Structure 1
């Protein structure tokens, strides 16, 4: 791993919280993600199943985690199954976990090779009443690929049809949004790396540079500091590209007079940062560009005040919509008289600000959480208002990552340049 060893007390604590939500006499089984084929004999870069990582800290393919806290055989109450390495694997693929390394990373003492999984499972599963299995229930995910968890579910239901099968995802929806102190520190590290990449970019950008050259500067800083890489496909959108919300081509020249919209973040130890900024290619905003920028900045400052425990998603979105509406009127983009007559279900501001203000952040960039649950202490949320003016080829988005605490909220990106004048000063220093 590129990142430093994580204190396994995080994963021990996560497992205990997980056990507290299980029905009596339950067994839970989690699989690592698939190794997805790319082409020929290549696979895409492996990314661990976030739920398995959350409970074990194991960051390796072909891993199974079995948890049975009331197992009559104490040896099998927490069990890890790993891919057995060999001299051949070591030569071609490199180092894999030893059993002792897996014990140290996870805090789980019973570690076996995968070949032992079926025999051990067979010896204990009949003593359980409930089997908890996992699927991807992120409501942003549209299922199209029959991944490992689904294949495993079908196999288990064929073998043990009379057991009571339970969904594991609702438990993670309760657990994962509330971050521990260790998770907060890992997120801060991802934010710190992201900050340094952004400052690097501010000093690099000038008219004529290509979007992908900027992307190269970003990944250079991520990897240099031990980040795994991009938390998600980076958006380097200059000029009219910025009005495409998920622009990923990053292949155009940045022209004098244009604004570049950035949306990128570092991944560190499977935890993610998520930053958006908009900067002038030539180092100076025009008056119109700065007016729009400052309008978005104002919305962001007001929206951050609402990110506190107890806030309701829909009410939050509606309130930020009203703030955006006021700024759009000042910019001459919508008329206050038209606003008075608008259909409340289709407010006029959505023409210029069409996405959500926030999402949870964690092991997934769009972290697993309930969109109908109030904000809680321990949540980390993005705050990302924007204004996109298609007819002007101008898009501005600003985004920071906000931690909710008992005393209010903390901006984890407060040290990343944000004021328009500060950005101009750094670019011209």
Structure 2
């Protein structure tokens, strides 16, 4: 690997230059307009991710920034100002009404560093606004002035600024911008904290458009091919990591730019470890192996898990547990009603749990079918929640107090993990709710039954 010196030594080789498919540019604009309407005259400031320091570290855009812009340009910032009515300050000073406004701020280009990182856009690039599909592009250096002017016009607006509040680099940038706004008002720090913009973007991101559904479908199709390749690679004497490599290669061949999460290939006792990722064991005949692996296509994730017998055929006990897990998934699918069903969680499995919780449906199925070696029900071996949202994040943000409705995308992934028997079984598919309210399995083409799994391994 080529050695580099000074600051240049810390820069990423161009990993952002891959071509991504995208939803229509107008859809990003519609999202920003919807966000603006939620601001009630306030402002949202959303920072992009920076390229990582070292070339072996992957660059991935901030999820909310990408959702609102579709841009993979690093280190910029988006400002959306919602339309607001005229007002009067406490001292009687009139404040005029202001219209909706959106500005994408970009850092200046550095031709020397671009030799390592690839060509970038900045505010001076010809047609930058048109290429990025935004109303206006400005140098990042002007962000403090724009934000400061907005706050200075009516100091009460500091209460209506929404931004990232986490401890990641984007959150640090947001805090720096807010400190500057405080300086504009002659204060060392703002008297109020900025509001968390994810409270707004979560609501927007829960409903997927047809274009988003199509990208998740492509991620899932590549992941189905990956899972099938993994099934065929499973043999006694093969290391788990070898199968993981086969799966990842197949995802990339299918157009994925990266895995959605570190691939899990857990055999024998490792099949009972939920997030096992060492993938270091050599598989043995008689094991079951859980493969939780899926890819990301144009920034949209999929999430799939299958369980296979290492020798190509389930034992009677393994098949029994497998069939119970599949039955639980089918029970949750059958119980789904758009606009009514919620996910639920492990703390809502008691007799008094609401009937509209899919997690409760799956748990009850598992707990009333089969026993462990001591004659006890199997519910206690279903130790995680039934599922989660999927989108730009493999665990896409969602308000699980609300029911799933048209445009929702989420997993259903029941599992039984019995360490004493070295049997872990998980079956996971990513689903979406179509325009008619029907629950559709993106991975319907992937084997589901035990017989189908055994046939796919041959």
TM range (shorter): 0.7 to 0.9
User: 1:132-147 to 2 correspondence within 5 Å?
Assistant: 132-135=161-164, 145=167, 147=169
The Cα of 1:259 is off from its aligned counterpart by 1.1
Match of 1:31 among 47, 52, 64: 47
The Cα of 1:238 is off from its aligned counterpart by 1.0
- Please name the residue that 1:96 is paired with: 120
The Cα of 1:407 is off from its aligned counterpart by 3.1
> C-alpha separation between the residues in 2 aligned to 1:233 and 1:390?
22
Correspondence 1:13 to 2:6: no
Contact kept, 8 Å, 1:131 with 1:163, in 2: the verdict is no
SS at match of 1:297: helix
> C-alpha separation between the residues in 2 aligned to 1:174 and 1:334?
45
Match of 1:222 among 222, 242, 251: 251
The Cα of 1:81 is off from its aligned counterpart by 1.4
User: 1:290-369 to 2 correspondence within 5 Å?
Assistant: 290-309=319-338, 310-314=340-344, 315=354, 316=357, 317-329=359-371, 334-335=375-376, 349-350=379-380, 352-369=381-398
The Cα of 1:146 is off from its aligned counterpart by 5.2
- Please name the residue that 1:408 is paired with: 438
Q: Given the superposition, is the C-alpha separation of residues 212 and 8 from structure 1 closer, same or farther in structure 2, using an over 3 Å criterion?
A: same
- Please name the residue that 1:190 is paired with: 219
Q: Given the superposition, is the C-alpha separation of residues 163 and 388 from structure 1 closer, same or farther in structure 2, using an over 3 Å criterion?
A: closer
Q: Which moved more, 1:50-59 or 1:301-310?
A: 301-310
Q: Given the superposition, is the C-alpha separation of residues 162 and 245 from structure 1 closer, same or farther in structure 2, using an over 3 Å criterion?
A: closer
Q: Which moved more, 1:98-107 or 1:278-287?
A: 98-107
The Cα of 1:67 is off from its aligned counterpart by 1.0
- Unmatched tracts of structure 1, length 5 or more: 137-142, 337-347
The Cα of 1:321 is off from its aligned counterpart by 1.2
- Please name the residue that 1:44 is paired with: 57
Correspondence 1:117 to 2:143: yes
- Please name the residue that 1:80 is paired with: 104
> C-alpha separation between the residues in 2 aligned to 1:418 and 1:290?
12
- Unmatched tracts of structure 2, length 5 or more: 1-17, 85-95, 345-353
Deviations 1:264-305, CA, capped at 9 Å, x for gaps = 111111110000100111211112111111111111111112
TM-score normalised by L of structure 2: 0.81
Contact kept, 8 Å, 1:11 with 1:55, in 2: the verdict is yes
Q: Given the superposition, is the C-alpha separation of residues 75 and 116 from structure 1 closer, same or farther in structure 2, using an over 3 Å criterion?
A: farther
Q: Which is bigger in relative contact order (C-alpha 8 A, separation at least 6)? A: 1
> C-alpha separation between the residues in 1 aligned to 2:333 and 2:126?
45
Q: Which moved more, 1:313-322 or 1:354-363?
A: 313-322
> C-alpha separation between the residues in 1 aligned to 2:107 and 2:283?
47
Match of 2:153 among 119, 127, 141: 127
The Cα of 1:262 is off from its aligned counterpart by 0.7
> C-alpha separation between the residues in 1 aligned to 2:105 and 2:35?
19
- Please name the residue that 1:287 is paired with: 316
> C-alpha separation between the residues in 2 aligned to 1:101 and 1:208?
57
> C-alpha separation between the residues in 2 aligned to 1:230 and 1:381?
18
Contact kept, 8 Å, 1:260 with 1:280, in 2: the verdict is yes
Contact kept, 8 Å, 1:2 with 1:226, in 2: the verdict is no
Q: Given the superposition, is the C-alpha separation of residues 271 and 247 from structure 1 closer, same or farther in structure 2, using an over 3 Å criterion?
A: same
Contact kept, 8 Å, 2:319 with 2:450, in 1: the verdict is yes
Contact kept, 8 Å, 2:206 with 2:407, in 1: the verdict is yes
> C-alpha separation between the residues in 2 aligned to 1:384 and 1:102?
43
Q: Given the superposition, is the C-alpha separation of residues 302 and 272 from structure 1 closer, same or farther in structure 2, using an over 3 Å criterion?
A: same
> C-alpha separation between the residues in 2 aligned to 1:167 and 1:289?
47
> C-alpha separation between the residues in 2 aligned to 1:270 and 1:213?
26
The Cα of 1:166 is off from its aligned counterpart by 3.2
Correspondence 1:67 to 2:97: no
Q: Given the superposition, is the C-alpha separation of residues 255 and 149 from structure 1 closer, same or farther in structure 2, using an over 3 Å criterion?
A: same
Q: Given the superposition, is the C-alpha separation of residues 318 and 193 from structure 1 closer, same or farther in structure 2, using an over 3 Å criterion?
A: same
Q: Given the superposition, is the C-alpha separation of residues 418 and 9 from structure 1 closer, same or farther in structure 2, using an over 3 Å criterion?
A: same
> C-alpha separation between the residues in 2 aligned to 1:111 and 1:207?
58
User: 1:225-236 to 2 correspondence within 5 Å?
Assistant: 225-236=254-265
- Please name the residue that 2:3 is paired with: none
Number of matched residues?
A: 404
- Please name the residue that 2:15 is paired with: none
The Cα of 1:234 is off from its aligned counterpart by 1.1
Q: Given the superposition, is the C-alpha separation of residues 93 and 229 from structure 1 closer, same or farther in structure 2, using an over 3 Å criterion?
A: same
> C-alpha separation between the residues in 2 aligned to 1:286 and 1:124?
68
Contact kept, 8 Å, 2:342 with 2:404, in 1: the verdict is yes
